[in-house]
Amino acid sequence: MKAPLHGAAVPSWAQDDSHMTEPNKLTHHGVPDHQPAAGGIAARARAAATPQYLTGLNPEQREAVETLDGPVLVLAGAGTGKTRVLTSRIAHILSQGRARPGEILSVTFTNKAAREMKLRLGHMLGQAVEGMPWLGTFHSIGGRILRSHAELVQLKSNFTVLDVDDQIRLLKQLLAADNIDDKRWPARMLAGLIDGWKNRGLMPSQVPPGEAAVFGNGRGGKLYTLYQERLKILNAADFGDLLLENIRLFREHPDVLRQYQHRFKFILVDEYQDTNVAQYLWLRLLSQAPAKPGVPLSAIIPGYGEGASLPAPVVEGGKEMPPSSPPKNICCVGDDDQSIYGWRGAEVDNILRFDHDFPGAKVVRLERNYRSTGHILAAASHLIAHNESRLGKTLRTEDVDGEKVTVTGSWDSEEEARAIGEEIEELQRAGNNLNDVAILVRASFQMREFEDRFVTLGLPYRVIGGPRFYERAEIRDALAYLRVINSPADDLAFERIVNVPKRGLGDATVQMLHDHARKRRIPLFEAARAVVETDELKPKARGSLRDLIISFDRWRARREVATHTELAEVVLDESGYTEMWQKDRSADAAGRLDNLKELVRSMEEFENLQGFLEHISLVMDRDGGASDEAVSLMTLHSAKGLEFDNVFLPGWEEGLFPSQRTLDEQGRAGLEEERRLAHVGLTRARRRAKLYFATNRRIHGTWSTTIPSRFLDELPAHNVEITESKGGSGWGGAGGYGASRFDNMESFGSSYSTPGWQRAQAQRARGQGGRQDNRDNRQGQARGGFEESQSPFSGSRSDTSGSRSDTSGSRGDTSGSGGGFSRNKRGPMVIEGELIAKSTGTVSEFSLDERVFHQKFGYGQVVKIDGNKLTIAFEKAGEKKVVDSFVQRA
């Protein structure tokens, strides 16, 4: 039995015989020490007796598993097997009888990680894992503790956890009650501030006055107090309260804290580098040995007091003083080089100061990487070494060096997308599975060009960690406006944006429009045009709907004289949609605005609005199962924890990566986090890592000449190879700026007659296993293909020419032959013409002086008829103008 570290609690089962002399102390000084001979009987017997969970662990991993006493920090680099270490450590604790399953607190960051750990433990231990109630996320465990002691924090055990929407609604009520303009001081902004304060463990009384003053002319702190009071009245808590109220519970009721300190004999924490201040405080409180009654928390956590956002160590005589009670058996696993979530409150300092927080802590470095080849690891290690705030470790591998990291420059972002598409096709021809290929971007707006390119090539892809570009809510909203302009009969698009932004047109209004449209067999837009001329709606709603119809009429007229990109900008501006996101103070609002700018930019590649919408229908028409082969497309933040054989990293340019916004807001700390993000990107690659940068890129709607990222010069030259772009125009052309992509223009034939398109059609046909949509049977196309003659967007204007859909610049053939778009002879306008004629030319079936009944206004008599519009003298409501579909004969 190993002797416990100094200050560590001796388990109860070992206290009775702790006075016994250990066997290895009995040998006489004249007798040489004995170790079992390698390959001998004793060595083989010992190996046979080794638990299965220890088999295959390297020396560092085994040390991390078997060091059970005292605080332990496991610095686990990318691909070094940290999850296996955590699960093996739990198995070792249980198999050695050091604790029962209910005495182990194991904390993860995501439910997915908790499920994976339980699954692995189940394979190791069988049913024992079912008795581990304290294995879960910070907030799930915090919520469980809170429900057990809810009355102590003025809640009931059945309290509700509010989601973000409910939280915003409650804050809006508080703003209205305090006469604060929600447009100037949005509730979402206040929600973000409160969430930030809770992440730092700050109760309303602890918020610094300067921070409280940034909202509502100094009323931020007061609103935070009112919000917390209101939550108690509603018997509710928000997500941040699940830990904040835990901390308050432990602070105000030390007996409860001692109860949990006694309960948890071992604490294990995954991804410790991502903890925020509240999580840190919660762990520090639970990880200390139980203090005597009456000992203040400032003695348990030095420097912890009112208003302290991050506990500071107590220093006397130039030396940091240890806490009054020794720490328990806590093991934190993390990697300071992978701390990339500072923007959501993570404090990398938590892991950097672990040995200060837990004096005598043992640090175990896991540096043997089982994922990447030698050149990739060398490049990643050399890059991250430029960070000053790190504990330091160097990843190594016993694998071959493999291929060098490649760096490729391109003329612009379109050429970059073409070059990566060509490389992926080469990998596919060489037998590589597309599931082993990933493209990791710094900003989500970069994805759009890759998605368009992959559609042209017929390469299947999936977006991980979020929707595809054209599936994002803000993009769908913007497209809905353009679809209604292009085709007024598009009911789905009109219904989507009729109240976006908010116009006071609720569900009742939309239902009324649906009822009228269904009875008269006309589109919603025409139903709205008819209803605004009557008294069916309340004045405010009628005015809002009339203004919207007038706006659409104005935009359609503008379409004839302005370019489609100018039209899109005008629509987004005049509709108030851009302003809506500008006023939104949520973390993702800026990204949504960037995506809208990228949408407008993407329209430049097409000759008109009709061609662009046809292209969108093609991009959205992708029918593939999750199990199909596909390239993975995601942001660098979403890639953490994943790995692929082939990783493409585009956009390594100053301003984009590292992000200028991050540098402006956080300075050197932001630069180091961006470098950690680059390190994460490189270490996702198992066999190949390929970096790209463009000389010209459009960011925030403006073309600019960019310079390569500083991170490229921080890579080791020995492990990097410079390659030439395969995107069609090369690099390093005349003038020192590289050849323009227009110097190597592809033919102007339609992209839908290219081999890539034909291959995509064939692949989709094979993937459907012969199943075909009846609409396409005549043409022999499989479902999932794009049949231009069946497009819901095609043929709506007789003067529409073909579209440019290929990002390389190829244009559609307007002649209708040679692979160009075929036009629908029965376009939507014909349908609209029929429908509009019905709505305007139909004579009402009612007659003058006829007695009728209206659901809202009651009984009345028809006094005037104008087409299908009736003027009725109601007995109680007076004279009103209504549409005849809303009345019936009395």
- Looking from the CA of 518 toward its CB, the CA atoms found within 13 Å total 7
Say how far apart CA 344 and CA 351 lie, in whole Å. 17
CA-based angle 284:289:295, to the nearest 5? 85
Specify the 3-state DSSP secondary structure of 688. Answer: strand
**Rg for the chain (alpha carbons), in Å?**
33
Rounded distance between C-alpha atoms, residue 111 and residue 138, angstroms: 10
- Which of the 8 DSSP states describes residue 736? G
CB atoms within 10 A of CB 467: 12
User: Three-state DSSP class for 814?
Assistant: coil
Instruction: Please list the residues that pair with 319 across neighbouring strands.
Output: 316
Neighbouring CB atoms inside 10 A of 9's CB total 16
In terms of DSSP bridges, do strands 405-412 and 631-635 run parallel, antiparallel, or are they unpaired?
unpaired
Name 266's bridge partners.
104, 329
* In contact, 723 and 684? CB cutoff 8 Å: no
Q: Which residues form the catalytic set?
A: 82-83, 270-271, 338, 684
Strand 878-883 relative to strand 266-269: parallel, antiparallel, unpaired?
unpaired
Neighbouring-strand partners of residue 396: 368
Would you call 646 exposed, middle or buried from its count of C-beta atoms within 10 A (0-12, 13-18, 19+)? buried
**Helices 187-199 and 164-177, packing angle to 10 deg:** 110
Q: What's the token pair of residue 113?
A: 């990680």
Phi, psi of 854 (to 5 degrees): -120, 135
Phi, psi torsion values for 464, nearest 5 degrees: -105, 135
What are the structure tokens assigned to 835, written together?
Answer: 């429908």
H-type alpha helices, 67-163: 82-95, 111-125, 138-148
| CB-based contact 522:838 (threshold 8 Å) | yes
3-state helix, strand, coil in the chain (%, to 5): 45, 15, 40
Contact (CB, 8 A) for 761 and 785: yes
Separation CA 417–CA 727 (nearest Å) = 7
- Cα of 468 vs its chain's centroid, Å: 12
